[in-house]
Amino acid sequence: MRFLTSVKHLLPGVRILPPSTPLPPSTISTYPVLNPSTNQVLCLIDRQDDWGSDVDVSRVTRSAVDKAMSVGESFKRTTSLDRANILSLWASEIRSNSLALATIMTLESGKPLTESLSEVEYGASFLSYYSGSCYRTSGLNGGHIIPSPFPDPSGYSRGTLMSYNEPVGVCGMITPWNFPLAMLTRKVAPALAAGCTSVLKPSEHTPLTAIAVRELGRRAGVEDGIFEVLPFGEGGSRGFGDAICTNDDVKKVSFTGSTRVGKELQSKAAGGGVVKRMSLELGGNAPFVVFEDADMDRAVDAAVKSKFRNAGQTCVCSDRFLIAKSRMDEFVERFKKEAEELKVGDGMEEGTNLGPLITGQAAANVERKVRECKSGEIVTGGKRIVGNFFSPTIIVGMGLEEEVWREENFGPVACVRSFSDEDEALGVIKMSRTGLASYFLTKDVGRIFRFGRELPNGLVGVNEGIISTAHAPFGGIGESGIGREGSGEGIEEYLEKKYMMINH
Ligand SMILES: NC(=O)c1ccc[n+]([C@@H]2O[C@H](COP(=O)([O-])OP(=O)(O)OC[C@H]3O[C@@H](n4cnc5c(N)ncnc54)[C@H](O)[C@@H]3O)[C@@H](O)[C@H]2O)c1
Ligand SMILES: O=CCCC(=O)O
């Protein structure tokens, strides 16, 4: 197991080279990142073997937590201005290296370069947003004076009641490969704004993006111990989870990934050291409902965006399409036409809409679910094209018992059924235990409020297929997790409230 463990010379306007390049094992080699159109070297990466299977995960993690702990003592005393400056400089570093970072992401994960570029901006937006939070009362040292209910013979209420915020302490974080930059900044930006130090393990599939972001953070003043990235391989994931969940110095665990692993961490943390705060951003299986009065241009556009973004490998991707009976044929015909126009291919090539799925196993899993779906009709796609590339697929009229309908498919597969009325649609949606994103299209204002409020989801898009932003709370209900990221809610996850009663 080998890793590319450091990104050097990340130059402004620069970018990275295909991971398929053969490199001699057991060496530290320099790995150039090239601009594909000019062949200009954009940055250099060192490839080392020391994050391999023989790494003592528990020792390395312990030592990173120790460092975060000791640095945390002084870091929590920094001013709001200091932390705001770091975050805002870090955002600028990321924005000025957008092409380099986007290229790393595309080469690591396969997503089209245009999507990687959007993710760079999305990721930077969390740093910018939380640099502003440093100054708000919700930030570290912010708080409230509470009107006192205690009577006093003087006629004034007795005492001053105050609540103020303190950082929770050292945080252990784990992020996935599908948004290797934005999922990282969505955690570390509020943590840093709150005065917490953090130790993060990125996905084994996308360590370079995390390392590059860390490197840019250094330039912005994120000193050693404030935020560390430990790029363990697959064999190190469980060990890292154990190490953070059972270490008394880690006061908060923040995880983004599958529901299975999220629950595993929750139970480990419960049985391990001190009681820990937990944020779990887990899987979805988003419903997408088109009512009879929907604007069909909008519906098709939103369906394509919310289904095929990142080749369907997004926790908020629509999976379960419910279409009003009277609009079913029209929707399927137009959605199919759009899906067939999407170009599947190399993410570095211009015009590519969908890259490969992350691994052969992921592609085989999607292929199996489609093959095992015995009811319904595949109206387009349904095949693994080559390697990990899967064709945009639409299946119509499958039974509710099919796995491809019931479970998040994390691939470019849209499952479409019709429905008769709101109650039926809601009943079908509520059959799932997940509750992350949901979408519906209608022009009826009453229905927007009625149906929107009834949906068992943390995120609701009305007449829109892409709704994520640093400014709004992101998170799920039920099997989709606990806690919120982004917005003013996001920083609360990293703050303890202290109440002080001062008797005059
Ligand atoms: N709600 C959200 O914000 C959000 C965002 C992105 C992805 N996701 C979900 O993540 C899933 C896909 O991502 P994935 O395949 O990388 O998920 P995953 O759970 O397999 O992996 C996520 C992270 O956990 C690590 N990991 C794996 N096994 C572990 C273990 N036993 N202990 C500790 N860490 C472990 C991985 O190395 C990776 O860093 C989907 O279900 C998707 O919906 C959710
Ligand atoms: O995959 C989940 C995150 C996607 C998003 O933030 O929009």
pTM for the full model? 0.92
On whether residue 51 sits in a domain, the answer given is: no
Whether residue 373 sits in one domain with residue 312: yes
Can you tell me the distance from the alpha carbon of 242 to that of 253, in angstroms, rounded to the nearest whole number? 11
On whether residue 278 sits in a domain, the answer given is: yes
On whether residue 8 sits in a domain, the answer given is: no
pLDDT at 406 over 60: yes
Best mutation site among 259, 315, 409, 439 for ligand 2, i.e. most ligand atoms within 8 A of its Cβ?
A: 315
The whole-number average pLDDT for the span 214-234 is: 91
State the CB neighbour count (10 A cutoff) for residue 291: 23
| Closest C-alpha to 123, from 162, 175, 50, 82 | 175
Residue by residue, DSSP assigns 42-61 as EEEEEEESTTSTTS-HHHHH
- How many angstroms separate the alpha carbon of residue 282 from the centre of ligand 1? 7
On whether residue 150 sits in a domain, the answer given is: no
Whether residue 420 sits in one domain with residue 314: yes
On whether residue 207 sits in a domain, the answer given is: yes
ipTM of model? 0.96
Given the CA of residue 485, which atom of ligand 1 is nearest to it? 3
Whether residue 290 sits in one domain with residue 401: yes
Can you tell me the distance from the alpha carbon of 61 to that of 376, in angstroms, rounded to the nearest whole number? 49
Whether residue 410 sits in one domain with residue 358: yes
| Confidence (pLDDT) at 14 | 32
Whether residue 318 sits in one domain with residue 426: yes
Where does the pLDDT of residue 37 fall: very low under 50, low under 70, confident under 90, or very high at 90 and above?
low
Can you tell me the distance from the alpha carbon of 273 to that of 247, in angstroms, rounded to the nearest whole number? 6
On whether residue 472 sits in a domain, the answer given is: no
Can you tell me the distance from the alpha carbon of 431 to that of 448, in angstroms, rounded to the nearest whole number? 21
Tens-place pLDDT, residues 46-55 = 544 445 556 7
| Confidence (pLDDT) at 159 | 84
| Confidence (pLDDT) at 369 | 97
Q: In what order do the strands lie in the sheet with 143-146?
A: 143-146, 160-167, 495-502
Residues with CB under 6 A from ligand 2: 178-179, 314-316, 468, 474
- How many angstroms separate the alpha carbon of residue 235 from the centre of ligand 1? 14
Given the CA of residue 467, which atom of ligand 2 is nearest to it? 7
On whether residue 154 sits in a domain, the answer given is: no
| Confidence (pLDDT) at 7 | 47
On whether residue 256 sits in a domain, the answer given is: yes
State the CB neighbour count (10 A cutoff) for residue 162: 14
pLDDT at 89 over 60: yes
Q: Catalogue the E-assigned strands of 49-150.
A: 143-146
φ, ψ of residue 400 to 5 degrees: the values are -70, -15
Tens-place pLDDT, residues 114-135 = 999 999 999 999 999 999 999 8
| Closest C-alpha to 121, from 155, 105, 98, 90 | 98
Whether residue 230 sits in one domain with residue 123: yes
Whether residue 434 sits in one domain with residue 384: yes
Given the CA of residue 232, which atom of ligand 1 is nearest to it? 37
Write out the two tokens for 226: 């404030």
Can you tell me the distance from the alpha carbon of 420 to that of 317, in angstroms, rounded to the nearest whole number? 24
Query: Is 281 a known active-site residue?
Result: yes
Looking at the DSSP assignment, which residues form a beta bridge with residue 479?
none
Across the chain, mean pLDDT equals 89
Whether residue 393 sits in one domain with residue 302: yes
**Residue keyed to tokens 């805002």:** 88
Residues with CB under 6 A from ligand 1: 174-179, 183, 201, 203-204, 237-238, 241, 256-258, 261, 264, 281-284, 315, 408, 410, 436, 476, 481
Cα 201 to the center of its chain, rounded Å:
14
- How many angstroms separate the alpha carbon of residue 174 from the centre of ligand 1? 8
Residue nearest to ligand 2 atom 5, measured at CA? 468
Query: For position 187, which CATH number holds?
Result: 3.40.605.10
Contact assessment for residue 402 and residue 373, using Cβ atoms and an 8 Å cutoff = yes
- How many angstroms separate the alpha carbon of residue 105 from the centre of ligand 2? 15
Contact assessment for residue 185 and residue 123, using Cβ atoms and an 8 Å cutoff = yes
Q: Which of 93, 281, 367, 479 is catalytic?
A: 281
Whether residue 211 sits in one domain with residue 92: yes
Whether residue 299 sits in one domain with residue 264: no
Tens-place pLDDT, residues 131-158 = 999 988 666 667 888 888 888 877 777 7
Question: Cβ-count burial of 119 within 10 angstroms (0-12 exposed, 13-18 middle, 19+ buried)?
Answer: buried
Given the CA of residue 281, which atom of ligand 2 is nearest to it? 2
Whether residue 293 sits in one domain with residue 266: no
Q: Which ligand is nearest to the CA of 309?
A: 2
Whether residue 298 sits in one domain with residue 204: no
Q: Which ligand is nearest to the CA of 466?
A: 2
Query: For position 402, which CATH number holds?
Result: 3.40.309.10
Range of the domain at 347: 286-457
Q: In the chain, how many domains are there?
A: 2
**Higher pLDDT residue, 312 or 48?**
312
- Which alpha helices (DSSP H) does 176-326 contain, by range? 182-193, 207-220, 234-245, 259-271, 296-308
Can you tell me the distance from the alpha carbon of 438 to that of 428, in angstroms, rounded to the nearest whole number? 13
Element spanning 294, H or E: none
Separation in Å, CA 333 to CA 8, 296, 328, 399:
50, 11, 9, 20
